[in-house]
Structure 1
Amino acid sequence: MKPLIGITCSFKPDGRGQTLTPAAYHDAVQRAGGAPILLPPLEADEDIAELLRRLDGLLLSGGPDINPVRYGEEKHEKTMLLAERREHFDLKMAAAAIAAGVPTLGVCLGAQEVNVACRGSLIQDIPSLCPGALVHAAPTSGGGETMHEVTIEQGSRLHRILGVTRLSVNSSHHQAARQPGQRLKVCARCDDGIVEALEGDDESFVLAIQWHPERIVDLPKQLDLFRALVDAARLRCRAAHARCGGG
């Protein structure tokens, strides 16, 4: 049985209240061997808890910015706020998944949600607050991606997944972790020192990456991130099945 991977969605609070997500996320999960399911931003805590109990893994997708009141700061002029309903759902899911040991992968906004859910803080706008930083949010040209290099901490979970200490990633974020949250550690940085990835400090699968691997999944090593999530979810699924008396 394929492990069930929940994927968070964007929410547009217009007249119809639309929920949507780029197909690249669920396509990547499928290619990695998982069964993707899109998660609507539920509001009741008991419904969020029930939904999480049915998942084998969680993929926190990209989007706008978390309200900085969540980490004790005032809003920067460049901060583009996430819909409150999605923010509530995503942060509840992230915190509960990490606490329950549900394998969790955060992408861009999702990485920031992992950090804030663990009581970390963010740089609200790299270009204006980090003089001398490289360009981390470059527009695509001709349908391509602007790339930059990151250095991966040797011996980290991310290093074990990818097998390299240098990787080309796409430049598509204007925020990043300032202070890593509780039980998180930095596992990749850009050459300018900006944090590009965090991971859990124990053996549970928690990985938060600032780039968008789903958009460059055909480049070297990028699909391996989704395979690692699916593999961790599969192990959890099998363990749960065994506890319930399955074969």
Structure 2
Amino acid sequence: MDDEERIRMAESGIDSDEYRRFMQQPSGNMDDSGYFSVQVISSALEVWGLELVPYNSTESLALEAQKRPETMAAYICHYRDHWFTIRKLGHQWFNLNSLLSGPELISDTYLAMFLAQLQQEGYSIFVVQGSIPACTADEILRMRPAVQPSKLAPPKQPVKPPENQDSELEKAIKLSLGQEIEVEEEEVDDDDELQAALRLSLQEDGPDPALEKALQLSLQVDHPIQPGMRKYDWNIITIDY
């Protein structure tokens, strides 16, 4: 295709500005991504005796396709360097878009709506004119029609509790935290009062070595042993009165 265009452009002279600009431009028929122009696809289909007719044209085949799209053999769709085919295999229509995970079964009723949707999205649609060569898939589907597998249901959205329920839960948590703080403060106050009472008792009754040692160990339950203090084994302490 590029060679044919180059020959036509050279007819006006290889020294012309148009020819030089043409030679400097990249190919408009294909690129490294695998894209082919409609001219290349049309030329490839001519080998099989097939032609492409624009779906929106006023040709008789296009007008018939607009009225009864299910009577055609295939459609080729193009949008932004992407091509895909909608073809009848057996007695069923299939969307053969390579962007899908597999062939998509299309009913005769949905075919017209699907083509209209593609037009709204900006696709260029061509009707394939001619007798498409038979293939193995076509023969098998004539005897055993395909069944479209059920699509997976969309994931369920997490249920959000009502706003009033959130506020009540927040109040309950704050109230619970407040009660815990008050209880801790009361325990601290009780410990201070107990320590003061024990010290006062020791001052009034005089020092008793055994009792004083036991009381000191008792006071160390909620207070860590400071450096320099002696560590006792709580399991062997006994006090005789």
Q: TM-score, structure 1 length as denominator?
A: 0.19
Higher strand residue share = 1
Higher helix residue share = 2
Q: TM-score, structure 2 length as denominator?
A: 0.20
**Largest Rg, 1 or 2:** 2
Structure with larger RCO (C-alpha < 8 A, sep 6+): 1
